[in-house]
């Protein structure tokens, strides 16, 4: 299962639809806090997470999950990509940082890599 955390409803729906069209299941969460409250974390094979969100941002969520011992392949997405941000998330252990709008082939490749490792 792929968890999608993004505060933009359109992005959540579009990304979920894309993930499902590629043959995987997906659950969506409107915030980092909603994901943290969910009981689904144990069934997640890969996390797709926006960086900039209201409340807790994606990097803070990722750091908290890692601190709690939760380790799943994570793909960050953002409309505000930069080389320093890419370096930061890769250093933290994320798989990649994909720019919005999301390239279908790019996401499919990263998801295949992430879910093959589970």
pLDDT tens per residue, the chain (118 residues)?
Answer: 999 999 999 999 999 999 999 999 999 999 999 999 999 889 999 999 999 999 999 999 999 999 999 999 999 999 999 999 999 999 999 999 999 999 999 999 999 999 886 6
19 in Cβ contact with 111 (< 8 Å): yes
Q: Does domain 2-100 have CATH number 3.40.50.2300?
A: yes
The tokens describing 29, both together, are 């969460």
pLDDT for residue 116 = 87
Whole-number pLDDT of residue 38: 95
Tokens of 59: 């990097």
What pLDDT is stored for residue 118 in this prediction? 62
The phi, psi pair for 6, rounded to 5°, reads -160, 140
Longest dimension (CA), the chain: 34
Domain ranges of the chain: 2-100
């Amino acid at each position: 299962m792929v968890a999608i955390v993004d505060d933009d409803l359109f992005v959540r729906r579009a990304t979920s639809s894309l993930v499902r069209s590629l043959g995987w299941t997906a659950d969506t969460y409107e915030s980092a806090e909603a994901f943290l409250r969910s009981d689904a974390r144990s069934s997640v094979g890969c996390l797709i997470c926006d960086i900039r969100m209201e409340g807790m941002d994606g990097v803070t969520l990722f750091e908290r999950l890692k601190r709690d011992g939760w380790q799943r392949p994570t793909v960050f997405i953002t409309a505000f990509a930069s080389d320093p941000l890419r370096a930061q998330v890769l250093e933290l252990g994320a798989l990649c940082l994909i720019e919005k709008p999301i390239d279908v082939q790019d996401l499919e490749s990263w998801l295949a890599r992430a879910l093959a490792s589970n």
